[in-house]
Structure 1
Amino acid sequence: MSTPLALVRDGHAGDASGAARAEGPFDSLEYLVGVNLARLRAERQLSLDALARASGVSRAMLAQVESARSVPSIKVLCKVAAALKVSVSAFLRRHAVSGFEHLPAERTPRLVSADGRFSARALYPEHEPAAAEFHELRIAPLHTETGTRRAPGTTMNLVVSEGTLEVSIHDRRQLLATGDAIVFDADQPYALRNPGDTEARVFRVTLNAETPPRWDVPELASLAALPALGADAPRHPA
């Protein structure tokens, strides 16, 4: 049966040096936007003048953004993003500083069950929104872990790296050997069982369902807490 998961960190992930690194210029909004803009412009071999003409944003403003002397408004970012053919979120990616983000194994947080027989380690930057999640799973011999059902449209891909794995989906079971893979819709009941006598190591890729904007509606309780609209205030049609 599945057991509650607890967040743990290997090595010295919580040491003072790690905290100091988190407070450096790497976390500065101006710095992130500036580095990303410079990188995206360079990748497209655009000069400041060329990007200014394509986006309608002045060369002086673009130069200030790249040098981290100014944080552009959302309107300006949207214009530049459209000219570069990227999303606005591309300006906030932290791995842009070096072109990649190193995730040391000894510093990566792991979710571990209370009995220690199941663990999941993220292999992607969890601090950024992701359409896909990538985890390493470790399952002790003869242990069964009940999966968490995800939103409709979510797809899960499992690849067995070491050992064997039995995947139960509803009333159907599929045994996977080392190197085998399986893909299934993750909005249905499923469970993972290690039938072997050695630890199983599995890589899991989850493709999250896209949520239409109309689904992103505030809860009724939140709406009730808002101040009452005045008589002349605009109201949404019923």
Structure 2
Amino acid sequence: MTKKVNISTDSGADVEFVSAALAGKLKQHRKQQKLSLDELSRRAGVSKGMLVEIEKCIANPSIAILCKLAAALGISVADIVNVASTPPVRLIDAQDIPTLWNGPLGGSARLLAGTSGPNMIELWRWQMQPGERFESAGHPAGTLELCHVEQGQLLLKVDQTELIVSAGCSAIARTDVPHYYANEGETPLVFSMTVAELHQLAGAH
């Protein structure tokens, strides 16, 4: 059975899985880098109170907070949820692939696999029911996303640009700006996504 981690822009993470993993990773990497809670709070733009709750495993961090903390610590979200590529060749069982977003109408986003940060690549599979949308305030500078629609129609808006990506078509976008994915059609949407966070692109425009 796939682990469900009910993360969205509006709801928090499942305490049984992501909160426990994040608490351990946060403490581990903070100690390795000799960062105080105050310094990590400043770097990540996350309140010190939230960090304390995360380390005590009593917080429900949103997907946006996971991304901010991963970026501030130089790791990836895949590191946090234990689907990163360490050791170099590794099998990830179907039961260990987490669902990191559950839509209000039954949609989902699964992080299939990923590499460790800070430069990282992630492989996702999204399913969205008609009327569902996922919004992001923007990822770290230099983030690229490649999407391929398998079924339905994806509405992708990145900053001021809007694309309609039909089944069989692909799209490339730099997503270090506000963006969203939506299914405004009448049938279910299924698409795969590769996310690459490449810091050498951070200053390129």
Task: Give TM-score, length-normalised by structure 2.
Answer: 0.52
Is residue 173 from structure 1 mapped to residue 159 from structure 2 by the alignment? no
One-letter identity of the residue aligned with 1:105: A
- Give the fraction of aligned pairs with identical amino acids, expressed as a percent: 17
Is residue 4 from structure 1 mapped to residue 20 from structure 2 by the alignment? no
Is residue 194 from structure 1 mapped to residue 201 from structure 2 by the alignment? no
Pick aligned residue for 2:172 from 183, 202, 206: 183
Is residue 133 from structure 1 mapped to residue 122 from structure 2 by the alignment? yes
Structure 1 residue ranges (4+ consecutive) displaced by more than 6 angstroms after TM superposition = none
Shift of 1:198: 2.4
Given that 1:3 and 1:115 are in contact with CA atoms closer than 8 Å, whether structure 2 keeps it comes out as no
Aligned to 2:195: 206
One-letter identity of the residue aligned with 1:160: V
Aligned to 2:75: none
Q: How many residues align?
A: 126
- Note closer, same or farther for the CA distance 1:151–1:125 as it changes in structure 2 (3 Å cut): closer
Aligned to 1:123: 112
Structure 1 counterpart SS, 2:95? helix
Shift of 1:120: 1.7
Given that 2:105 and 2:132 are in contact with CA atoms closer than 8 Å, whether structure 1 keeps it comes out as no
**Could you tell me how far apart the structure 2 residues matched to 1:183 and 1:170 are?**
14
Shift of 1:125: 4.7
- Note closer, same or farther for the CA distance 1:133–1:7 as it changes in structure 2 (3 Å cut): farther
**Could you tell me how far apart the structure 2 residues matched to 1:125 and 1:95 are?**
12
Structure 2 counterpart SS, 1:106? helix
List gaps (5 residues or longer) in structure 2: 1-7, 18-84
Structure 1 counterpart SS, 2:113? coil
Shift of 1:160: 0.8
Shift of 1:4: 2.5
- Note closer, same or farther for the CA distance 1:102–1:155 as it changes in structure 2 (3 Å cut): same
Q: After the TM superposition, which of the residue ranges 196-205 and 109-118 deviates more from structure 2?
A: 109-118
Shift of 1:163: 1.3
- Note closer, same or farther for the CA distance 1:186–1:141 as it changes in structure 2 (3 Å cut): same
